[in-house]
Structure 1
Amino acid sequence: MIIYFFFFILSLLPLIEGEGLGLARFLLLSSCFPWSIYLLKKKKITLNLVFYLFFLFLTLALISTLISPVFQRSFNILVLYFVYLIYFLLSQALFKENKPLFKKGLNLALLFPSLSLTLLSFYLLSFKDAPAIPAMNLIFPSFGHNHLVDFLVLSFPLSLFLFLKEENRVKKGLFFLLNLIYLAGFILSFSRGGFLLLLFIAGCFFLKLKKTETSFFKKISLKYVLFLGVFVFLLISLSLFSSLFLEENQIRSEFFQKFTRSPSHQSRLEYWHQSFLSFKEKPIFGWGLDNFRYLSKKYQSQSHFWSWYSHNHFLQLFSETGFLGGLCFLGLILLSLKRIFLTSVKDEFNLNWALKISVLASILQSLFDFNWQFSSVFLLFWVILGFLIKDSEESRETKEYLPKLKPYFLMFFVFIAFLIFLTSFLELKGSFYYFKAREYEENNQFTKASFYYEKVLTSWPFKLERWKKIIEYYQDQGDLDKALAVSQKLGLKEPLNGDNYLVLGDLYFEKNDFLKAIQAYEKAVLMNPQQGEKVYLKIVELYLENNLINSKEIIRVLTNLETLKQERCLLLCLGKESEENVNSLLIKLIQQDDEFNKLNPKEQAKVYFWLTILNIHQQNWEEPISYIKKAVKIDNNLKNKEKYQVLLDELLLIQAIDQSYQSNNFNEAETLAFKLIKTPLLSFYQKFYLAKANNILGEIMLRKEDYLKAEEYFLKAIEINPWDQDFYLNLSFIYVKSKKNDKKEMTLNKCLDFNPWSQKCLRNLNK
């Protein structure tokens, strides 16, 4: 009876992975207690090296969990690893008890969910507005593409083997149809990694079939597998070729847009580098299980280059459990592979061989994807591995180490399974309260909703995502005190999550506690430096709106912003509204003598330098020149003074060009403009008035009716600074003169792309 329930759970879990109530996790966790009782009664565990390595890994993972900065998240994953061990041991015990029934059950647990999920994914693909599950699941494209491939990698080698080995024509036809459905599932998952794994599976079968004895069987099977391999290779080539040579806007079909999307190898390299940096910071016991999602944000080199998972399970475990835990898990996988490939019948083409290919393919996928983060996939991986290890051990003598410890280990597993059993009920209870609260909230019964939300926090506080929803609920209800209290508690439970500090800062801001708001915002930047620009600009806005002029704090915030944006950008790349806010704040600062005088000469000069940069694109050159002159005069640092002087000389030159042109002294303006554009680029900001110089040269050539030269200069001005509408208008005037209406329309449309508010470009386009 127990074996039927075992395979029922294995078959059901993939189908309900990611459902909101948590029934899948409840079923998985609660089942461990009866399994452990069964193992205790039968005393069917083997204390070999694989077992001890698995147990040692769990011990190290437990240590990393106990010292984890986010204990709740690490605990949830640690529980799963204990579950995997119990299922691993149970699969070996059940196989030994009834081998034929176990093999049939395993076939069913692989083929039935795969077929169901594949057909369901086909159904969902036929609807553009199909409902989506935001949680981890195998069929909804919540993570770029659906992850059906993660399960098919385990089941496809089995279905391919059954088709090739079956002699009954009807059954062979059914298995052929099953293979076609799975193959379509691979294709419609739009996973490049899935295509490569399919090619790997076909290659393994091709090499194996070359050694089979039956010539007729060999001939037919080789042709089929060879055709499969060639088809997949062409599929990969077509996908890569299309992504490299076709623009996305050239492909109208949504299906082919997904199929030909650019490969994401760059982001994977970034995630692996983030894992390495995380490991370097805590190399012994790591950061705790499932905490990579926070470290990815902390170490991302570009905005949006972060992920929940490292896309390499081994690297992720090195960063989360440290060197010892990562090495132990790597040793566990390598030793398991050694065991299953050391069978007595090495060349036999059988079920075990097909499942070995499944295991290998799944391991390969874990090197560049997060397939093992799906509990149903990783669970089945351990069940298959347990069966293969046990089967291989029966062909040779297996050495046990310290067999006298077996009763103690079994009692320990019963104790752990009982704790997991209790955990599963507490989790389910928390889920029940949460859904009741959501139901009452949707029905506007806010008193009852508040009651159940509070129950959620007390019954099972380990589901951190629900805390954020509860904070939003209290905010919507206008209960800032409760929202703030929950947010503060969440910050203590999840200190690595910068988003929590952003929410906390917003709540302090709403309560007019500006100093605490700023402190919370700056903690958010520490956790996720890539959101520093957004946070610092928010602080600038807060200072400005509430007239908070603290000279030292303003200098510190803007210096951090300058460092974040780097020397080649500084403050002049924040967007028009943000630049105006920074400019207004700095002007307020210099107007308040008592605060401005608190700054040393170097800091005062920096303020004038920033004001110069922020006003450099204005038509009036007097203002930025006056600011930079003050910076040159105040700062005594020779290096800074030299930098400011270079900028002053360049500004004086562009001012002279502009004045000569405005006074109709075109020859002098042309001479000075040529001098400027041929001067080596001494400062990054030169590009803003370099565009102006090219525009003036274009206008001079336009007066001389040298349209080719004028066009060249206007195009250069647009290339340097595509946001100035005057450059486009001048260029379009040339095309009007030369009767090139197509180019005129294209130029003015481009103007509207960069300047959608430009009435001049719009009027000229409609003429």
Structure 2
Amino acid sequence: MFKKEKLQQTNFLILVLLIVLIVSLSLLNGGRGYLANNLLLFLSGILLLLAIKNHKFCLGKAHYILFGFLFFSALSLFFSFSAYNSFAYFLQIFSVGILFFVVSSLHFSYKDLKIFINVVLATAFILCLIGFYFYITGHYSRLTSIFYWPNPFAGYFLFVIPLGLIIFLKSKKKVFIAPLLIIFFTAFILTGSRGAFLAFAIPLIFVFYYQRKNFKRNFHWLICLILLIIVFASLLSAMNTSLNASSTKFFSKPSSDSLLDASSGIRLSYWEGAWHIFKDFPLFGIGFNNFQDVYPSYQTSPLNAGKYAHNFYLKILAEAGIFTFLFFIFFLIYIFLIAKKKIDFNKKPIILGFWAGALGSGLHCFLDIDWHWSANLVLFFLFCACFYQFVLHADNSKYSISKFSKITKSILFFIVIFLVFKAGHGLFTDYSFAQACNYQDTGSFSQAEKYYHQSLFLNPNPNYQRFFAYFLLTNGKIHQAEILSQKLKRTDSHQALNYQLSGYVAINKNNLIQAEQEFKQAIILDPLNRPVYYLDLARLYLAQNRKQEAKSIANKILGYYSPDVIQNRMGLILPQQTITSGIEKDIVELQKIVDL
């Protein structure tokens, strides 16, 4: 009896920590930024510690498949073009893997699940209210809330709406859940994410099929719901200042030159780039999170600039190789097709909500970048885990209960300590970097240097090193800047910015031959996105009286940048935020060189 009570207390504590994690990630810009990432590492470590206290682990087929995915993900780190970028991203993947292992091994009661679901719905409601405020008072025609990007925010509703819809159909007090559903559907529509709309269709069909009796029983309620959603969405659309200032209206067809269509049109280029990267590096890829550095070499137009593959599965192929990809696909097939057969969704509609929510998110990631927002990634694995724990307990002959040996416990404790340390260390170094930038902006250079050093303590972050190198260079510490620039080229060899930095260092050392080589390498790695690389090289040629070569290199990039292209690259997303800054000025300077 005592053991049972202790187990219940542990399960409740796990539930509380999961709630803290979901709410925090959702409200921290959807899980973007260093605070959210470190929180994910810390709480996953604590959750693993609580799982160790249970002294046993339920292991099913999905666990073994996921372990294979994590194993080959770790193996791909040894082949990464930038070990730091890949390791940082792998820790996120590893953390959500821990969440799946821990949560799917539990047996939440329906009371616990109800608490969990209510928190998810309440958090989504708060995000909607914030989103509506931004939508009405802002200058962007699509709803983003604090995710600050509409498509991942739409992806968040792929989890929320199936659960809300099932609760609505089953509830006798619909007057309480109906307003929430109206708000969720309205927010979902106003994101304008056509990919999310498509992804939502299939889970909706499954919900309709398994809940068809309830759909018929609540037909009149659903008609009223649809009408109210249309009215509310139209009302908010009419209040949006950016829509009123343009010809774009709610439910109207976007113009051919709209950013919405531009973003859709270039997805094919991202996919082609990811596919070509995979063909060049098929076994272990280029390393997690390196697409943004390697893709420019495969890019065909400045209009196709991007950081993400906009397809998570192609991303895995390109960044982690075929073995990692296959294990992840096997995991999805098992969850969505094989394990599904073991649950009667008619008897357990709430479990259908978890399954449908995860399915919608998985489908949307064929088209978009949802899982680059940690809140969405965590929700996907938690929804899969909540579904799979019921599969395990419905088919208890098909899984094994693994007790921890002393060696296993030691390894798991080491992982816990590492994750907690990494989270604390990450907070320290990220805070130090922010302080360094603040002191640099205020002219307190000695304090800035101190905090730059702190930010790099056991933390070879390439971005931090590059910022520090520029700081040293502008303060006349050329030798120290050179050491950092050379280190960056070794550890982050496909980042063009590192070669631009090395070129500036060479100029300060009056080594113009090396500077030329560095600027040329920057252009090779990123030939279309940053005209400033060409401008640097052209100015170097002019300084050596090589006017024709300067004109030639300027013309090489100007051919890609017509006025329409420049305007597109400067398209506004939100106030004070542009896709690319400084391009127009660089093009003007390059044109002046051509006109000499």
TM-score above 0.5, yes or no: yes
Partner of 1:11: 23
* Residues 21, 432 of structure 1: 8 Å contact kept: no
Residues 382-432 of structure 1: per-residue CA shift (max 9 Å, x gap)? 111111111022222442469578775554333222211111111111022
Q: Secondary structure at the match of 1:394?
A: helix
* 1:140 Cα offset (Å): 4.3
Equivalent in 99, 112, 135 of residue 87 of structure 1: 99
Between 1:333-342 and 1:20-29, the stretch displaced more is: 20-29
* Residues 502, 518 of structure 2: 8 Å contact kept: yes
Q: 1:578 to 1:178 in 2, by over 3 A?
A: closer
Matched AA of 1:116: I
Partner of 1:156: 161
Matched AA of 2:220: I
* Residues 532, 564 of structure 1: 8 Å contact kept: no
Distance in 2 between the 1:517 and 1:318 partners? 35
In the TM superposition, 1:381-396 aligns within 5 A as: 381-396=380-395
Partner of 2:176: 174
Partner of 2:49: 37
Q: 1:141 to 1:348 in 2, by over 3 A?
A: closer
Matched AA of 2:513: L
Matched AA of 1:65: L
Partner of 1:347: 346
* 1:138 Cα offset (Å): 6.8
Distance in 1 between the 2:406 and 2:310 partners? 39
Distance in 1 between the 2:82 and 2:380 partners? 28
Residues 284-319 of structure 1: per-residue CA shift (max 9 Å, x gap)? 111111111112212111114132211111110011
Residues 1:47 and 2:49 aligned together: no
Residues 1:121 and 2:121 aligned together: no
Q: 1:415 to 1:258 in 2, by over 3 A?
A: farther
* 1:179 Cα offset (Å): 0.9
Residues 593-640 of structure 1: per-residue CA shift (max 9 Å, x gap)? xxxxxxxxxxxxxxxxxxxxxxxxxxxxxxxxxxxxxxxxxxxxxxxx
Residues 1:521 and 2:519 aligned together: yes
Distance in 2 between the 1:360 and 1:328 partners? 17
In the TM superposition, 1:249-260 aligns within 5 A as: 251-252=246-247
Structure with bigger gyration radius: 1
Partner of 2:117: 107
* 1:177 Cα offset (Å): 0.7
Distance in 2 between the 1:381 and 1:469 partners? 35
Q: Secondary structure at the match of 1:164?
A: helix
* Residues 12, 113 of structure 1: 8 Å contact kept: no
Residues 548-570 of structure 1: per-residue CA shift (max 9 Å, x gap)? 59x9xx59x9599769969xxxx
Distance in 2 between the 1:158 and 1:70 partners? 40
Distance in 2 between the 1:579 and 1:37 partners? 61
Between 1:301-310 and 1:10-19, the stretch displaced more is: 10-19
Q: 1:19 to 1:357 in 2, by over 3 A?
A: closer
* Residues 202, 226 of structure 1: 8 Å contact kept: no
Partner of 2:468: 470
In the TM superposition, 1:179-218 aligns within 5 A as: 179-212=181-214, 217-218=217-218
Matched AA of 2:336: L
Task: Name the count of aligned residue pairs.
Answer: 545
Distance in 2 between the 1:276 and 1:53 partners? 24
* 1:20 Cα offset (Å): 8.4
Partner of 1:494: 492
Distance in 1 between the 2:587 and 2:32 partners? 40
* 1:351 Cα offset (Å): 0.8
Partner of 2:528: 530
Matched AA of 1:139: S
Distance in 2 between the 1:190 and 1:224 partners? 23
Q: 1:506 to 1:418 in 2, by over 3 A?
A: same
Q: Secondary structure at the match of 1:251?
A: coil
Between 1:466-475 and 1:292-301, the stretch displaced more is: 466-475
Residues 105-144 of structure 1: per-residue CA shift (max 9 Å, x gap)? 32033212211111112222333389xxxxxx9734755x
Matched AA of 1:324: F
Distance in 2 between the 1:423 and 1:207 partners? 46
* Residues 17, 138 of structure 1: 8 Å contact kept: no
Residues 123-180 of structure 1: per-residue CA shift (max 9 Å, x gap)? 22333389xxxxxx9734755x363212111111111211221102xxx212111111
Residues 463-498 of structure 1: per-residue CA shift (max 9 Å, x gap)? x33334334444554555444443333333321111
* 1:41 Cα offset (Å): 2.5
Residues 220-259 of structure 1: per-residue CA shift (max 9 Å, x gap)? 3564687699x69x99xx9xxxxxxxxx999357989997
* 1:29 Cα offset (Å): 1.1
Partner of 1:710: none
Distance in 1 between the 2:166 and 2:284 partners? 42
Partner of 1:422: 421
Distance in 2 between the 1:228 and 1:272 partners? 39
* Residues 33, 418 of structure 1: 8 Å contact kept: yes
* Residues 178, 225 of structure 2: 8 Å contact kept: no
Distance in 1 between the 2:49 and 2:179 partners? 41
Residues 1:360 and 2:359 aligned together: yes
Partner of 1:265: 264
Q: 1:194 to 1:21 in 2, by over 3 A?
A: closer
Distance in 2 between the 1:564 and 1:580 partners? 11
* 1:271 Cα offset (Å): 0.6
Cα RMSD between the aligned structures? 3.7
* Residues 58, 401 of structure 2: 8 Å contact kept: no
* Residues 140, 146 of structure 1: 8 Å contact kept: no
* Residues 271, 310 of structure 1: 8 Å contact kept: yes
Distance in 1 between the 2:128 and 2:531 partners? 44
In the TM superposition, 1:234-245 aligns within 5 A as: none
Distance in 2 between the 1:255 and 1:495 partners? 46
In the TM superposition, 1:131-146 aligns within 5 A as: 139-140=145-146, 142-143=148-149, 145=150
Distance in 2 between the 1:138 and 1:527 partners? 33
Residues 623-673 of structure 1: per-residue CA shift (max 9 Å, x gap)? xxxxxxxxxxxxxxxxxxxxxxxxxxxxxxxxxxxxxxxxxxxxxxxxxxx
Matched AA of 1:251: S
Residues 253-280 of structure 1: per-residue CA shift (max 9 Å, x gap)? 7989997634233211111101101101
Q: Secondary structure at the match of 1:45?
A: strand
Matched AA of 2:305: W
When normalised by structure 1's length, the TM-score is 0.64
Partner of 2:5: none
Distance in 2 between the 1:193 and 1:561 partners? 38
* 1:63 Cα offset (Å): 1.2
Q: Secondary structure at the match of 2:105?
A: helix
Unaligned ranges ≥5, structure 1:
131-136, 239-247, 567-573, 585-767
When normalised by structure 2's length, the TM-score is 0.81
Matched AA of 1:167: K
Identity score, percent = 23
Distance in 2 between the 1:274 and 1:282 partners? 12
Matched AA of 2:382: V
Q: Secondary structure at the match of 1:46?
A: strand
Residues 1:64 and 2:76 aligned together: yes
Distance in 2 between the 1:173 and 1:575 partners? 59
